[in-house]
A = this chain, B = another copy of it.
Amino acid sequence: MQNCIFCKISAHEVVSDIVAEDADVIVFKDIHPKAETHWLIVPKKHIHSVSAVESSDWPLVASVIKKAADVAKEKGLAGYKLVFNVGREGGQMVDHLHLHLLAGGKVELP
C-alpha cells in the first residue's frame, strides 16, 4: 500500500535493522525500543489491523506469531511478551498489522 511505512520496509524501500525474514514475514528492530529486545514482526501483505483481518488471512496472522516464537528460540530468548496494539485507543500507531516482541530489562508497554 502506498505511503505505508511497513509496506516500504517489507519491500526494502526503507532501510530497517532486519532480524529475520522469509517470503511472508519480516522481523526488524523497533526504532523506539521499550525493552532490551524490541522487535516488530510484520506480515509483508498489508493488513490494516487485528480488527480487520479477512477470513483467508488468519493463517498469515498465525505465521506472524510462529515467526516470533521461532526467531526468539533461535536467538535464545528465555522469555518474552508478544503484543498487538489494536486501534488508536489501543496504542496502534501504524495502520499495518504488527506484533511487538519485548524481552529483557525494564519492559514497558508498547
A residues 38-91 near B (Cβ < 8 Å) are: 50-51, 53, 58-59, 61-63, 65-66, 68-69, 72-73, 78-91
Q: How far is the CA of A80 from the CA of B49 in the complex (A)?
A: 11
CB-based contact A80/B72 at 8 Å: no
Q: How far is the CA of A58 from the CA of B67 in the complex (A)?
A: 11
CB-based contact A83/B81 at 8 Å: yes
Task: Provide the residues of chain B in CB contact with A68, threshold 8 Å.
Answer: 50
Q: How far is the CA of A78 from the CA of B91 in the complex (A)?
A: 11
CB-based contact A53/B69 at 8 Å: yes
Instruction: Find the B residue at minimum CB distance from A68.
Output: B50
The 6 closest A-B pairs by CB, nearest first: A79-B89, A79-B87, A79-B90, A62-B62, A58-B62, A82-B84
Additional A-B contact list (5), CB under 8 Å, known A72-B86, A79-B88, A80-B86: A51-B73, A62-B62, A65-B65, A80-B89, A83-B83
